[in-house]
């Protein structure tokens, strides 16, 4: 989760200096001089946390709190004030304020308070993610499994349906879909909490790609999609977490299977490359025909829950490409996307070959926009 903060204070020096100090702590911070500017910025780009003064001309901190309470239920609040009173403290409690600090305050105390707030925000977000996944993403394929299982054997006659093989295949496909959803959710939850464990070992990227292609081939066949693969021998083992890399490969292939129209094509390519960013690397490339992705949406395709405008009517939780990005970063690599609307889309996963990856915990780094 991106830790975004908006600092609102009518004292410009305080607002700017506090924002600068918080940026040094690794937060993504914007500042607003005065409540009116604060309201405007809240409307334009809501943050995860608002740190606001109380007494400000025109628009005060109480109005900021009221706006957040009414319109931004997932945004937290911290109040800082030089005019503390019992009445203002009570009002702050009514507005779900996470903390109430009086000026002057210790900066370390503010940082500790912010960390506590973000821990709660992230826990709430993970809970909402779980509810979303169970209520829709898992419920749909699970209902399909139950339905097809009932059709395999006729309850009255006890005879096996002539379409049993077809029903069994659909049960397997939906079971794989559920397992993939659960795996993506768990990987995303660990990345969000900074506890994505990396267990590297020598692995064959070519072998992992071939296995991922085999497991997704039935879905391509079902839609009449031509699936071609070109896997060049890398010439060495890749030191990587095999489970996470396989999850990323599967996500890219499942993404292509969803977005490639019936009768279209998908190509998978693995080859060694000399990459300007990471040096000697293995590149996995998945290309597919289809609606493509508009240029303005490309910078966001790896964001959580960001789905292309061309995805209407296509099932998906919006976590697959997000997981791909974190797996790539965890291995010292990166991923990128290119597209020509109406023609094709291409995703590339770049994994360095010469970096010695040690076992440990991957901490997501902030995503910087160009």
101 with 169, same domain?
Answer: no
Report which of residues 187 and 285 the model is more confident about.
285
49-98 pLDDT per residue, tens: 999 988 888 888 889 888 988 898 888 899 888 765 556 555 655 566 77
Range of the domain at 329: 196-362
352 with 259, same domain?
Answer: yes
pLDDT at position 263 is 92
Grade residue 368 by pLDDT with cuts at 50, 70 and 90.
very low
331 with 346, same domain?
Answer: yes
338 with 270, same domain?
Answer: yes
132-170 pLDDT per residue, tens: 667 666 777 788 788 888 888 888 888 888 888 888 877
312-321 pLDDT per residue, tens: 445 555 788 9
270 with 211, same domain?
Answer: yes
Q: Are 303 and 264 in contact (CB under 8 A)?
A: no
188 with 200, same domain?
Answer: no
Q: How many domains does the chain have?
A: 3
Last residue of a domain, one of 105, 137, 169: 105
Report which of residues 16 and 183 the model is more confident about.
16
Per-residue pLDDT at 297 exceeds 80 = yes
Q: Which of 290-297's residues contact partners 24+ apart within 8 Å by CB, and which partners?
A: 290/259, 290/260, 290/261, 290/264, 290/344, 290/345, 291/259, 291/261, 291/341, 291/342, 292/339, 292/340, 292/341, 292/342, 292/343, 292/344, 292/345, 293/337, 293/339, 293/341, 293/345, 294/341, 295/339, 295/341
Distance CA 157, CA 70 (A): 60
The pLDDT mean for the chain works out to 83
Per-residue pLDDT at 177 exceeds 70 = yes
User: Does residue 116 sit within a domain?
Assistant: no
Per-residue pLDDT at 42 exceeds 90 = yes
77 with 179, same domain?
Answer: no
240 with 167, same domain?
Answer: no
pTM for the complete prediction? 0.62
pLDDT at position 142 is 81
């Amino acid at each position: 989760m991106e830790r975004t903060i908006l600092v609102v204070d009518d004292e410009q020096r305080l607002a700017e200096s506090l924002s600068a100090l918080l940026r040094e702590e690794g937060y993504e911070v914007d500042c607003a001089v005065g409540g009116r500017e604060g309201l405007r910025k809240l409307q334009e780009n809501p943050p995860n946390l608002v740190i606001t003064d109380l007494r400000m001309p025109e628009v005060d901190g109480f109005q900021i709190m009221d706006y957040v309470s009414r319109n931004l239920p997932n945004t937290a609040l911290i109040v800082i004030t030089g005019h503390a009173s019992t009445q203002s403290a009570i009002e702050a409690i009514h507005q779900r304020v996470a903390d109430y600090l009086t000026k002057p305050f210790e900066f370390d105390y503010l940082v500790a308070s912010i960390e506590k707030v973000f821990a709660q925000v992230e826990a709430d977000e993970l809970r909402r993610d779980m509810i979303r996944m169970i209520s829709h993403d898992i419920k749909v394929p699970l209902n399909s499994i139950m339905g097809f299982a009932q059709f395999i054997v006729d309850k009255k006659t006890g005879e096996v349906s002539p379409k049993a093989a077809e029903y069994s295949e659909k049960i397997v496909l939906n079971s794989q879909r559920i397992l993939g959803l659960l795996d993506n959710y768990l990987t995303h939850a660990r990345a969000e909490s900074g506890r994505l464990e990396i267990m590297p070992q020598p692995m064959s990227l070519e072998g992992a790609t071939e296995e991922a292609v085999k497991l997704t081939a039935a879905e391509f066949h079902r839609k009449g999609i031509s699936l071609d693969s070109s896997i060049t021998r890398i010439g060495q083992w890749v030191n990587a977490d095999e489970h996470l890399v396989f999850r990323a490969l599967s996500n890219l292939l499942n993404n292509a299977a969803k977005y490639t129209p019936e009768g279209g094509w998908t190509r998978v390519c693995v080859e060694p490359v000399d990459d300007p960013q990471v040096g000697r690397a293995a590149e996995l490339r998945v290309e597919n025909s289809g609606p493509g992705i508009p240029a303005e949406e490309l910078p966001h395709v790896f964001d959580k829950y960001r789905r292309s405008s061309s995805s209407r009517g296509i099932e998906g939780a919006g976590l697959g490409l997000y997981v791909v990005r974190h797996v790539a970063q965890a291995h010292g690599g990166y991923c990128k996307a290119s597209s020509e609307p109406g023609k094709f889309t291409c995703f590339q996963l770049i994994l360095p070959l010469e970096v010695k990856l040690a076992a440990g915990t991957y901490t997501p780094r902030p995503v910087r926009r160009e």
